[in-house]
Amino acid sequence: MHQVKIIGSTKTYPVGKIIGLGRNYLEHIRELGNKVPERAVIFCKPASSLLHEGGAIKIPEYSNDCHHELELALLVGKPGKNIREESALAHLSGYAVALDLTLRDLQSELKSKGLPWEVAKGFDTSCPLSDFTAADRVSDPNNLELCLKVNGEIRQQGNTAQMMRSVEEIIAEISTFYTLEAGDIILTGTPAGVSRIISGDQLEGTIEGVGSLQVSVA
Ligand code: MG
């Protein structure tokens, strides 16, 4: 079973659900030509998709177009259902840097057929994740600079202030569908700038005040 930890703490969390949020930054919706959703676009990645700091991404041979998506990750520490926005942050134990890797060619094919596209998001190593920084060390999760470099070149740059749904709104909305449990991880969507990664690429994601994540492509 996959475990995650909080920096400076001996406590570990067995990973439960990994819930991704799609289309949460307007510029990213525009770059993919998608519509602005009325309801949050929610999908799950299996815990087997996790890749820890320093690991190597393995792009499946059935895809030729794997995209990086840099995202702020939330770690649920306190369970809840129908959580109110006012108390949402109290359910979090930590924040981390994550990549929501996406097989864009497979996703587009499945989308065009009206089929679920989760398999384009859930392959092994599709969720690189840094260790978590304790939630009480992050004063405002809705105002954090994000930056992703590939081979030293900036590909994605944004701020969580650009999210269409705040961290509190995301937790409240997801918890109307799913009970959130300790060890669940939420990926909050990606800013603009997604693009293809290929074998040999070195990726470095940073989120101000949260941490950094370095992985390579096998
Ligand atoms: Mg994403």
Domain count of the fold of the chain: 1
Span from the CA of 26 to the centroid of ligand 1 (angstroms): 13
124 Cα: distance to centroid of ligand 1 (angstroms): 16
- How sure is the predictor about 153, in pLDDT bands with cuts at 50, 70 and 90? very high
Which pLDDT band, with edges at 50, 70 and 90, does 1 fall under? confident
Tell how far the Cα of 216 is from the centroid of ligand 1, in angstroms: 19
DSSP state of 8: T
* Residue 147 pLDDT: 98
Q: What is the CA radius of gyration of the chain?
A: 16
Residue 214 has pLDDT above 90, yes or no: yes
Residues, the chain, total? 218
Q: How far is CA 51 from the centre of its chain?
A: 12
C-alpha 51 to ligand 1 mean position (Å): 16
Contact predicate 95/138, CB 8 Å: yes
Cα(70) to centroid of ligand 1, in Å? Answer: 7
Model pTM?
Answer: 0.97
Mean pLDDT confidence for 147-164:
97
The three-state secondary structure class of 195 is: coil
Arithmetic mean of pLDDT, 174-180: 97
189 forms beta bridges with none
Classify residue 195 as exposed, middle or buried by CB count within 10 Å of its CB (0-12, 13-18, 19+).
middle
Mean pLDDT across the chain: 96
Q: Output the six-digit token pair for 117.
A: 């596209």
For residue 50, the cross-strand partners are 127
CA of 87 to the centre of ligand 1 (A): 25
> Residue 9 region, left (φ>0) first, then alpha (ψ -120 to 50), else beta?
beta
Per-residue pLDDT tens for 80-117? 999 999 999 999 999 999 999 999 999 999 999 999 99
* CA proximity to 129, closest of 76, 46, 205: 205
Mean pLDDT of 145-166: 97
Indicate whether 62 pLDDT > 80.
Answer: yes
Range of the domain at 58: 3-217
In the chain, pLDDT over 90 holds for what percent of residues?
A: 94
Find the CATH number of the domain harbouring 18. 3.90.850.10
Cα 189 to middle of ligand 1, angstroms: 5
Q: How far apart are the CA of 136 and the centre of ligand 1, in A?
A: 25
Per DSSP, the residues of 157-169 read EEEGGGBSS-HHH
Q: How far is the CA of 22 from the centre of ligand 1 (A)?
A: 5
How much distance in Å is there from the Cα of 25 to the middle of ligand 1? 10
| 130 Cα: distance to centroid of ligand 1 (angstroms) | 16
DSSP E strands, 145-197: 145-150, 153-159, 185-187, 196-197
Is residue 143's pLDDT more than 80? yes
% of the chain exceeding 70 in pLDDT: 100
